[in-house]
A and B are shown apart, each in its own frame.
Chain A
Amino acid sequence: MNSVSRSRRRRLSAAAVLGAIALTATACGGGGGSGEGDTVVIGYTGPLSGGGAAYGENVKIGLEMAIDDLNADGVEVDGNPVTLELKSLDDKYAPSTAASNAQRLADQDKAPVVVSPNAGAIKAIQQINSGRSNFLISAYTSDPAIVQADNPLTMMIPPNFESYAEEFSETAMEHGGKKLALLGTQSEYGQQWTKSIKDAWSEAGGKIGGDNSVDYATVSDFAGPVSKALSEKPDAIFVGGPSQPTALIMEEARKQGFKGSFLVMDQAKLDEMATVTKLDNLKNSVGVLPVSEYEDPGTEDFLKKFAEKAGEKKVPTSETALNYQGIAIIAKAMEAAGTTDDPEKIREAISEALPEVDDKYKVNGFPDEITEQGHLLNPNLEATFLNEDGKYTKVPIEQVSDDK
């Protein structure tokens, strides 16, 4: 009895040692090429703990789904099969941590691509990605400042947020009225949105009340800020921050008798908001189109796979879907460039790769071109108006230039 268990223990520890060696071998990957094909690390630095953790996790799910699917399909670069591997590091939303994470992913793991989902972090990483170390930034932010920086190795995935302001204002004015109250979040991004909406609203001939922006993350009770915004008797309210607190603000406004329309910033997703409040509270709003409302060739399968991975209750958002597309584009660009370790060639090959990407990866408004500055452009960008019947109607959006 004793000897059996001892030998088993020995076997187990031998297996553990072997496992550890195998892990080390993969971790050193990149140029290693042990056994069949190479392993290429896709780096990811995002908030995985702290206040932004939910957002960072959503991005990560998209990356994981893409890498699983691509590996199952098989990626072949220059005649060699390549296995993609995701390596994620937590930056807690801090740009300085994000930059050192990116450096580490590029130097230690030889990652040719690093994904980052936050404008501040991307700006910090842009200081180090084309110099001593070279890597492509897969940038998930709608802040055009990152392409204005003229960084040769940046790929910006989502549409420029400034594109939404004009159409949002017109739609909300049509369904609400001329007087706007501002109740967005006080983050840097929220304030950029507020300004963009303010400009578009005045241009369309509307009136704007006082700025009632509040910090969605620190306010314990939204009733106060909402009462204040409503005291100016607005016809439309601009709201937005993370989906869930935005939903509470809208619910509170409806409770206090607001009948007008809402303009919802792109950070908040109407379908995700519907998980914390009744759809009734969200009606008469213009916002970004939920992933599930897209009719791209791969959307349906993507939604199924997402439900399997994240559970039926979780709502897929564009953070997941657009990063899923982004990795598929990068993998195709590696194939087109015939290299996994030359980020410049990968970046150059993106426009050639776009039409080659398999239909199954087209899930959330697939781009057909990449601008000189590195912005992926979806030709048919659409937003949505959630009407009185609780139906999402599509609103076409004309994209503005990324130039200042």
Chain B
Amino acid sequence: MRLTRAALMPAEDPTIMTLFIQQLFNGLALGGVYCLAAIGLTLVFGVLRIPNLAHGALYMLGAYITYFFLTTVGVPYIAAIGIAAIMLFIVGVGLERLVFHPLRNSPHTHHMIAAVGAMFFFQALAQAIWGADFRRMDTPITGELRILGAEISAQRIVIIVTAVIVLALLALFIKRSIHGQTIEAIEQDRVGASLVGINPSMVSMLTLGLSALLATIAAGLVAPINLLSPTMGDALNLKVFAIIILGGLGSLPGAIVGGFALAIAETMTATYISSAVGEAVAFIVLVAVLAIKPNGLFTKAVQR
């Protein structure tokens, strides 16, 4: 008995390290996806002050449109994501115009009901067009990278890198461009922003369009390692809401930190405790944070 254990020890040490690295990268990739999806949602909350419950459905629709262009039309992967993102931007603008804009002066519950309605509409639409079966989207990005002994698939590296690039571009857009600055202005003070000549309804359209665009990039990136189905947005919806509440509603850094924190917490608990706990950890962390900081980690200075 003692002999076997002694023989096993040297073999086990690198395995523990490899497993950790493997799971760290898995967590980072998942975090990238969560982040991209969460940022859109938090932007919409900041500008329109509504929880867009149809966000997961936009993510799903983005995945299907990417799939359509990649598989049915046959354009290259990156271009397919790009075209889908632009189309979803238009869908987002349309959603604002047709659903949220007419309800702008009604009580908040109406927005939520309308968003749920939009969600069911998108799901039924996807099922009518693509059917209820799962679909698989293949990418040209194959192969594995060996990092410190762990096998990481190239797709996951692409997810992490793209997420970082997109987040950087987004930060640049919001901080440096006129259109981006109007988003931040409206977030900080809607009335004040209108007084200096910013058109709130233009900004609302831009924001919803942008959030759908970001969700599509997330969906296009994650689709190859998962499956497409009309209900694929449901699970993400729940987690993304947990993330933005954790990070502080409307806060961009909150969504980024929250996204990565939650994803890594999820993979690590699933690895070292159990999968069941991994699934629940998002909500355990959420409850814990809210108990200590009821407004989330990154509370906005101005809350209106």
* Chain A residues in the interface with B (C-beta under 8 A): 48-51, 53-54, 56-57, 186, 210-215, 217-225, 227-228, 231, 242-245, 248, 255-257, 275-277, 314
Q: How far is the CA of A57 from the CA of B222 in the complex (A)?
A: 26
**Would B124 and A49 count as touching, CB distance under 8 A?**
yes
Looking at B30, B225, B234, B275, which has the most chain A CB atoms within 10 Å of its CB? B275
B29: which of A212, A221, A228 is its contact (CB, 8 Å)? A221
Question: Is B226 touching A228 in the complex (CB atoms < 8 A)?
Answer: no
Q: Can you give 6 A-B contacts (C-beta < 8 A)?
A: A54-B131, A186-B275, A214-B275, A215-B279, A223-B156, A244-B227
Nearest opposing residue in chain B for A56, CB measure = B132
Report whether A211 and B274 are in contact in the complex, using a CB–CB cutoff of 8 Å: yes
Beta-carbon contact of A225 and B270 below 8 Å: yes
Contact of A231 among B15, B156, B225 (CB under 8 A): B15
Return chain B residues, CB-CB under 8 Å to A225.
270, 275
State how many angstroms separate the Cβ of B132 from the closest Cβ of chain A: 3
Please tell me the size bucket of the interface on B: 35 or more
Interface centre among A48, A54, A275, by most chain B C-beta atoms within 10 angstroms, is A54
Main secondary structure of the interface of B (DSSP, over half): helix
**CB distance B19 to A245 under 8 Å?**
no
Cβ contact within 8 Å between B231 and A228: no
Tell me the minimal C-beta distance from B139 to chain A in angstroms.
14
What's the least CB distance linking B233 to chain A, in Å? 11
Min distance, Cβ A233 to any Cβ of chain B, angstroms: 8
| Contact across chains for A217 and B230 when beta carbons are under 8 A apart | no
Bound CA span A275–B266, Å: 30
In the complex, given contacts A248-B226, A276-B227, what are 19 additional A-B residue pairs having Cβ atoms less than 8 angstroms apart? A49-B132, A50-B123, A53-B127, A54-B131, A54-B229, A186-B276, A186-B279, A214-B278, A217-B231, A220-B226, A224-B26, A224-B271, A227-B22, A231-B19, A231-B271, A243-B134, A244-B136, A248-B225, A255-B144
CB distance from B157 to the nearest CB of A (A): 12
Q: Are B235 and A50 in contact (CB under 8 A)?
A: no
**What residues of chain A lie closer than 8 Å to B229, measured between beta carbons?**
51, 54
Q: Please, which residues of chain A bring their CB within 8 A of the CB of B162?
A: none
A-B pairs with the 3 shortest C-beta distances?
A: A53-B132, A244-B134, A218-B235
Inter-subunit contact B153/A223 (CB<8 Å): yes
Contact B132 A57 (CB under 8 A): yes
Closest chain B residue, CB of each to CB of A214? B275
Residues of B within 8 A of A224 (CB): 23, 26-27, 30, 266-267, 270-271, 278
Q: Determine the residue in chain B with the shortest Cβ distance to A229.
A: B275
C-alpha gap A51/B233 in the complex (Å): 11
Contact A221 B279 (CB under 8 A): no
Q: Kindly state the separation between the CA atoms of A103 and B131 in the bound complex, as whole angstroms.
A: 28
Query: Which residue in B26, B132, B235, B275 is a CB contact (below 8 Å) of A212?
Result: B275
In the bound complex, how far is the Cα of B152 from the Cα of A255, in angstroms?
10
By a CB distance below 8 angstroms, the chain B residues around A245 are: 134, 227
Instruction: Report chain A residues within 8 Å CB of B153.
Output: 223, 255
Tell me the complex Cα distance, A255–B274, Å.
22
Query: Could you say which residues of chain A place their CB within 8 Å of the CB of B136?
Result: 244, 248, 275-277
**Is B231 a contact of A276 with CB atoms below 8 Å?**
no
Contact B127 A49 (CB under 8 A): yes
Residues from chain B with Cβ under 8 Å of A54 in the complex: 131-134, 229
CA gap between A214 and B29 in the complex, in Å: 19
Given known A231-B19, A244-B136, contact A221–B226 (CB-CB < 8 A): yes
With contacts A218-B279, A225-B270 taken as known, whether A51 is within 8 angstroms of B133 at the C-beta atoms is no
Give the Cβ gap from A222 to chain B, nearest Cβ, in Å.
8
Query: What residue in chain A is nearest B268 (Cβ atoms)?
Result: A224
| Interchain nearest-CB distance for A63 vs B (Å) | 16
Min distance, Cβ A306 to any Cβ of chain B, angstroms: 14
Q: With an 8 A cutoff between CB atoms, is B151 at the interface? A: yes
Check if B43 is an interface residue, CB within 8 A of chain A.
Answer: no
The answer to the question of B93 belonging to the interface, with a C-beta cut-off of 8 Å to chain A, is no
Q: Are B274 and A210 in contact (CB under 8 A)?
A: yes
Q: By CB atoms of chain B within 10 A, which of A48, A56, A186, A224 has the most?
A: A224
- Across the interface, A227 reaches (CB within 8 A) one of B19, B33, B124, namely B19
B40-82 toward A: CB 8 Å interface, digit per residue (1/0)? 0000000000000000000000000000000000000000000
Tell me the nearest residue of chain B to A210, going by C-beta.
B274
A49 touches B151 (CB 8 A): no
A62 to B: closest C-beta gap in Å:
15
Q: Which residues of B contact A212 (CB under 8 A)?
A: 274-275
- Collect the chain A residues with CB atoms within 8 Å of residue B30's CB: 220-221, 224
Q: Nearest B residue to A256 by beta-carbon distance?
A: B151
Write the nearest CB–CB distance from B67 to chain A, whole angstroms.
Answer: 13
- Chain A residue contacts of B222, Cβ below 8 A: 220-221
The residues of B that contact A231 with a CB separation of less than 8 Å are 15, 19, 271
| Cα(A276)–Cα(B276), bound, Å | 27
Complex-state Cα separation, A256 to B25, whole angstroms: 14
Could you tell me the distance between the alpha carbons of A222 and B23 in the complex, rounded to whole angstroms? 11
B236 at the interface (CB under 8 A from A): yes
Q: How far is the CA of A221 from the CA of B30 in the complex (A)?
A: 7
Contact partners of B274 in chain A: CB under 8 A:
210-212
Nearest B residue to A247 via CB reads B136
Bound CA–CA A160/B271 (angstroms): 33
Q: State in angstroms the CA–CA spacing of A214 and B151 once bound together.
A: 22
**Taking A57-B132, A245-B134 as contacts, is the C-beta distance between A217 and B156 under 8 angstroms?**
no
Alpha-carbon distance between A80 and B235 when the two chains are bound, in angstroms:
52
Q: Compute how far the CA of A276 lies from the CA of B275 in the bound complex, rounded to whole angstroms.
A: 25
Contact of B271 among A227, A248, A255, A314 (CB under 8 A): A227
A182 nearest in chain B by CB position: B275
Binary contact track B260-304/A, C-beta < 8 Å → 1, others 0: 000000110011001110110000000000000000000000000
Find chain B residues with CB under 8 A from A210 CB: 274
Whole-angstrom CA separation of A255 from B144 in the bound complex: 9
| B236 nearest in chain A by CB position | A220
Contacts of B151 in A (CB 8 A): 255-257
